[in-house]
């Protein structure tokens, strides 16, 4: 690979992508048709067009809260599609939308508060293609533990990937937390197993894929070549779709490749003892639903404890309980979740293995051949565990390894000057019991790697080995880039989520941009990002991630490709 030539090409394309993400008020509108009406988007730089906030379902509010998504109402005049739809309702986290549905200082002031909207089921499309061009389609599902995240996060802007990867890129909103996953008997109708599954977020994702199948041709995409891609919780959802009974029987087929980054789909029963599962069994979701209802009834004075709450609920019809819950504001629901359910470990969310929407045992489904057999590309970052210092007690650590609060973390990252002298120290960031960071066994790096092994890598081996036993076309990468300025190279290194800016070609404002992107590492970053985007595009196009930009031949799993870079050049190798 001619690194000098590649770097120049990467720099030109990345700068074009950065301009594309900004758009412009004077850009010419671009009209495309959908089954519900025409949408008017924006012409961006590098011949990329963007359409944002296209509804693919009605707002899941009122009688549609905790129901499967339904088609939106059609519109007659061209619908403006130049702005992102609201983030789906969630409680504020450092990975969330803040008060303004964008990366700004309000993210740090809305932590734990209700943000976003229930009227959120929309998608965004970036494309260089005219109608009928038949470009491969990449549909991305964001991470955030399935409780937070938003497609307006500038890290997920699809312009650079659409241009460099020569694909149509789609990002999708889906319901989150207890709005997206809720198992409660009173909410079930008994008439529809999918509706009764509690997996509303996955039903949203399927609804979006159906919209894409019927409409993406107008945006230059090929409905017969769709790649679903997700990171973290989004990767868990990708695996859930891969093994979903609804998807194995879907006609037409709604996706044809799968990319799962830093995720898994294994229950404890699938893994070696001591592993941390990436999927909870259905009874956990049922316990959450019952606890939510009981605590709401107690808070409203209708009961004094769990037993009396259950007794009161038994006197109500399912319709009465459903109306009661639908009458609760998001603030009331999140307050109960964070002040009551979190204390007993029931604040999380994710796919519910109900047997209708999500397989009762996804790994078992793969082993039995009951899954959507498509090429699979998976990846992890080398230091996944470093983003989860509060979990290190699971591997023998003494409590939370990180000293600053989330609010302090956000303020630090938002205002950090990456090209200036260091503005923090390891001692201000990492708890003393984890220092020195490179100490064997007890150091922060060693504890984080042990968490990585029992959490991310245990599920990785489980799912990829099951897939490889059934099909040859399984690829895997490890992301090793850790060229942040000190001390962030030790605090984070190649941490969870740090590969995403490279996959999307976006190094602009985001939670980690100010602590990872320096003038000194810029050329190497762009070089590596260019190769990664080309490879993702090749996989979407051909079902094989090999591309000349890699400079090496990428073999299938269990061998792996290592993505890395020096400050001045990509460094890609095979292991």
Span 458-482, average pLDDT: 98
The count of other CB atoms within 10 Å of the CB of residue 99 is 15
Q: Which of 117, 197, 232, 294 is catalytic?
A: 232
Span 343-359, average pLDDT: 98
Strand partners, 111: 92
Q: Into how many domains does the chain fold?
A: 2
d(CA 548, CA 248): 34
Task: With beta carbons less than 8 A apart as the criterion, state whether 156 and 127 touch.
Answer: no
| DSSP category for residue 271 | S
Strand 114-115 relative to strand 221-231: parallel, antiparallel, unpaired?
unpaired
208 and 301 in a single domain? The answer is: no
Strand 79-80 relative to strand 114-115: parallel, antiparallel, unpaired?
unpaired
Q: Would residue 438 count as lying in a domain?
A: yes
Burial grade of 271 (CB within 10 A; 0-12, 13-18, 19 or more): buried
157 and 297 in a single domain? The answer is: no
DSSP for 29-75, please give it.
EEEEEETTEEEEEEE-GGG-EEEEEEESS----GGGTTS---PPPP-
336 and 381 in a single domain? The answer is: no
The count of other CB atoms within 10 Å of the CB of residue 345 is 10
Q: What is the pLDDT of residues 201-245, one digit of tens each?
A: 999 999 999 999 999 999 999 999 999 999 999 999 999 999 999
Q: Would residue 350 count as lying in a domain?
A: no
d(CA 64, CA 73): 14
Strand 474-479 relative to strand 561-565: parallel, antiparallel, unpaired?
parallel
- What is the CB-side half-sphere exposure of residue 91 using CA atoms within 13 A? 22
d(CA 310, CA 313): 5
Q: Would residue 417 count as lying in a domain?
A: yes
Task: With beta carbons less than 8 A apart as the criterion, state whether 161 and 250 touch.
Answer: no
Q: What is the pLDDT of residues 323-339, one digit of tens each?
A: 999 999 999 999 999 99
340 and 316 in a single domain? The answer is: yes
- 172-208: burial string, b at 16+ Cβ within 10 Å, e else: bbbbbbbbbbbbbebbbeeeeebbbbbbbbbbbbbbb
| DSSP category for residue 572 | E
Closest CA to 184 of 291, 337, 279: 291
Across 114-200, the runs of DSSP E, i.e. the strands, are 114-115, 122-127, 135-141, 168-172
287 and 273 in a single domain? The answer is: no
116 and 181 in a single domain? The answer is: yes
Q: What is the pLDDT of residues 264-278, one digit of tens each?
A: 999 999 999 999 999
Place of tokens 């259905």: 282
Task: With beta carbons less than 8 A apart as the criterion, state whether 182 and 351 touch.
Answer: no
Token pair of 364 as six digits = 């078992």
Lowest-confidence range among 2-6, 258-262, 348-352, 434-438? 2-6
534 and 560 in a single domain? The answer is: yes
Task: With beta carbons less than 8 A apart as the criterion, state whether 124 and 50 touch.
Answer: yes
Q: Would residue 352 count as lying in a domain?
A: no
d(CA 210, CA 246): 12
Domain that residue 108 falls in: 1-277+359-575
Q: Would residue 351 count as lying in a domain?
A: no
306 and 444 in a single domain? The answer is: no
pLDDT of residue 26: 38
339 and 227 in a single domain? The answer is: no
Query: Is 232 one of the catalytic residues?
Result: yes
Q: What is the model's pTM? A: 0.95
pLDDT of residue 29: 60
Q: What is the pLDDT of residues 25-35, one digit of tens each?
A: 333 469 999 99
Q: Residue 118 above 60 pLDDT? A: yes
Q: Would residue 573 count as lying in a domain?
A: yes
Which helix (H) or strand (E) is 540 found in, with range?
helix 522-542
DSSP for 286-343, please give it.
HHHHHHHHHHHHHHTTS-SSHHHHHHHHHTS-HHHHHHHHHTS-HHHHHHHHHHTGGG
Which helix (H) or strand (E) is 364 found in, with range?
helix 362-367
- 543-573: burial string, b at 16+ Cβ within 10 Å, e else: bbbbbebbeeebebbeebbbbbbeeebbbbe
404 and 486 in a single domain? The answer is: yes
Q: Would residue 505 count as lying in a domain?
A: yes
450 and 575 in a single domain? The answer is: yes
Q: Would residue 245 count as lying in a domain?
A: yes
Place of tokens 């941009």: 513
381 and 337 in a single domain? The answer is: no
Mean pLDDT, the chain, as a whole number?
Answer: 95
Instruction: Give the CATH number for residue 435.
Output: 3.40.50.1820
User: Which of the pair, 15 or 317, is modelled with greater confidence?
Assistant: 317
Q: Residue 540 above 60 pLDDT? A: yes
pLDDT of residue 547: 98
Which of 303, 320, 344 corresponds to the end of one domain?
344
């Amino acid at each position: 690979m001619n690194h000098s030539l590649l770097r120049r090409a990467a720099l030109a394309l990345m700068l074009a992508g950065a301009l594309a993400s900004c758009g412009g008020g004077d850009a010419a509108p671009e009209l495309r048709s959908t089954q519900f009406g025409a949408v008017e988007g924006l012409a961006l730089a590098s011949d990329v067009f963007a359409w944002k906030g296209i509804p693919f379902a009605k707002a899941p509010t009122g009688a549609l809260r905790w129901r499967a998504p339904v088609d939106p109402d059609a519109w007659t005049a061209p619908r403006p599609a130049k702005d992102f739809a609201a983030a789906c309702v969630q409680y504020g986290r450092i990975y969330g939308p803040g008060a303004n549905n964008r990366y700004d200082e309000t993210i740090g002031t809305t932590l734990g508060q209700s943000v976003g909207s229930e009227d959120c089921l929309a998608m965004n499309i970036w494309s260089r293609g005219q109608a009928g061009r038949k470009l491969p389609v990449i549909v991305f599902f964001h991470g955030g533990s399935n409780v937070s995240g938003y497609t307006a996060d500038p890290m997920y802007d699809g312009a650079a990937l659409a241009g460099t990867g020569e694909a149509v890129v789609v990002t999708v909103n889906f319901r989150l937390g207890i709005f997206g996953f809720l198992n409660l008997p009173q909410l079930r109708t008994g008439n529809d197993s999918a509706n009764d599954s509690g997996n509303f977020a996955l039903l949203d994702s399927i609804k979006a894929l159906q919209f894409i199948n019927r409409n993406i041709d107008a945006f230059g995409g090929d409905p017969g070549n769709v790649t679903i891609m997700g990171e973290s919780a989004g990767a868990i959802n990708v695996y859930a779709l891969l093994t979903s009974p609804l998807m194995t029987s879907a006609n037409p087929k709604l996706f044809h490749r799968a990319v799962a980054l830093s995720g898994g789909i294994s229950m404890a029963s699938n893994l070696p003892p001591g592993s941390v599962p990436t999927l909870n069994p259905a009874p956990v979701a049922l316990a959450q639903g019952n606890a939510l209802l009981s605590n709401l009834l107690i808070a409203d004075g209708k009961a004094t404890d769990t037993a009396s709450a259950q007794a009161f609920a038994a006197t109500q019809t399912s319709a009465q309980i459903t109306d009661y819950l639908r009458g609760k504001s998001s603030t009331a629901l999140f307050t109960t979740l964070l002040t009551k359910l979190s204390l007993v470990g029931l604040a999380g969310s994710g796919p519910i293995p109900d047997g209708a929407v999500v397989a009762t045992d996804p790994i078992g489904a793969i082993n039995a051949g009951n899954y959507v057999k498509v090429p699979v590309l998976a990846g992890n970052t080398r230091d996944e565990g470093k983003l989860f210092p509060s979990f290190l007690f699971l591997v023998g650590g003494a409590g939370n390894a990180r000293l600053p609060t989330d609010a302090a973390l956000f303020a630090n990252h938002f205002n950090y000057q990456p090209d200036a002298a260091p503005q923090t120290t390891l001692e201000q960031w990492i708890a003393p019991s984890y220092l020195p960071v490179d100490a064997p066994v007890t150091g922060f790096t060693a504890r984080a790697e042990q968490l990585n092994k029992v959490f991310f890598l245990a599920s990785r081996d489980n799912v990829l080995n099951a897939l490889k036993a059934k099909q040859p076309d399984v690829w895997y990468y490890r992301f090793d880039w850790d060229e942040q300025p000190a001390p962030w190279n030790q605090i984070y290194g190649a941490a969870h989520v740090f590969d995403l800016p490279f996959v999307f070609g976006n190094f602009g404002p985001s939670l980690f941009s100010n602590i990872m992107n320096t003038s000194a590492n810029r050329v190497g970053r762009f070089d590596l990002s260019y190769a990664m985007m080309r490879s993702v595009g090749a996989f979407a196009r051909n079902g094989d991630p090999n591309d000349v930009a890699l400079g090496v031949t990428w073999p299938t799993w269990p061998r792996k490709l290592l993505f890395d870079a020096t400050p001045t050049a990509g460094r890609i190798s095979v292991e």
